[in-house]
């Protein structure tokens, strides 16, 4: 768990990086278990692919700077509430896929997803006692399969 001092340091460092890059941003650091979630509100009108690259680069720079200061925090970055929106989309996708399974289908594979989205799928499926989920595949092709619980044998 990040200490209050570490959380403040992460928030200040992120704010300074964004300011130096020419962004007007509001940054809030929130502790969540072992992670510090950086909630960033910033005007960033670029395609999603560029936004994802931006978040990755920002996270990388933050970790490098904090490592130099002896900190090793686990950081999640949320730009303009994207994570909450994405969570709702993934939960909706899981619900739709489960609802679309007919009596003859015993499992359904979802498209490849990143680790965060797969985790959201597992959490959503875990709330339904009739189904289980399992990840399979490697690298960028890693995906989740949802199975009816009776299929586990």
pLDDT at position 137: 95
Question: Tens-digit pLDDT profile for the chain (153 aa)?
Answer: 567 888 888 899 999 999 988 888 999 999 887 888 899 998 877 766 677 788 888 889 998 988 887 877 788 889 888 888 989 999 999 999 998 887 778 899 999 998 889 999 999 999 988 899 999 999 999 999 999 987 555
Distances (CA, A) of 151 to 62, 71, 125, 127: 45, 46, 15, 18
Is the domain of 62 the same as that of 103?
A: no
> Model pTM greater than 0.75?
no
* Spatial distance between the Cα atoms of 75 and 72, rounded to a whole number of angstroms: 9
Is the domain of 99 the same as that of 51?
A: no
- Side by side, which strands form the sheet with 74-79? 25-32, 35-42, 74-79
CATH of the domain at 72: 3.30.300
Domain total in the chain:
2
Is the domain of 50 the same as that of 105?
A: no
CA angle 2, 58, 122 (to 5 degrees): 65
Which of 80, 95, 111 terminates a domain? The answer is: 80
Is the domain of 22 the same as that of 73?
A: yes
- The DSSP H or E segment spanning 145 is strand 143-148
Residue 108: give the domain boundaries.
Answer: 84-152
pLDDT at position 91: 94
DSSP codes joined into one string, 5-51: HHHHHHHHHHHHHHHHTT--EEEEEEEETTEEEEEEEE---S-HHHH
pLDDT at position 48: 63
pLDDT at position 49: 67
pLDDT at position 105: 83
Is the domain of 73 the same as that of 31?
A: yes
pLDDT at position 83: 85
In contact, 107 and 145? CB cutoff 8 Å: yes
* Spatial distance between the Cα atoms of 64 and 80, rounded to a whole number of angstroms: 23
pLDDT at position 149: 84
């Amino acid at each position: 768990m990040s200490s209050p001092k570490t959380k403040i340091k992460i928030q200040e460092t992120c704010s300074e990086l964004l300011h130096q890059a020419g962004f007007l941003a509001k940054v809030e650091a929130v502790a969540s278990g072992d992670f510090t979630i950086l909630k960033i509100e910033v005007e960033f009108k670029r395609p999603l692919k560029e936004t994802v690259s931006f978040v990755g680069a920002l996270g990388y720079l933050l970790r490098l700077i904090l490592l130099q200061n002896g900190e090793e925090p686990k950081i999640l970055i949320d730009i303009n509430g994207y994570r909450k929106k994405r969570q709702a989309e993934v939960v909706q996708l899981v619900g739709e896929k489960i609802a679309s399974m007919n009596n003859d289908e015993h499992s359904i594979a979802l498209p490849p997803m990143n680790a965060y989205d797969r985790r959201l799928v597992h959490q959503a499926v875990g709330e339904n006692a009739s189904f289980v989920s399992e990840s399979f595949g490697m690298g960028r092709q890693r995906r989740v399969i949802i199975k009816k619980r009776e299929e586990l044998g």
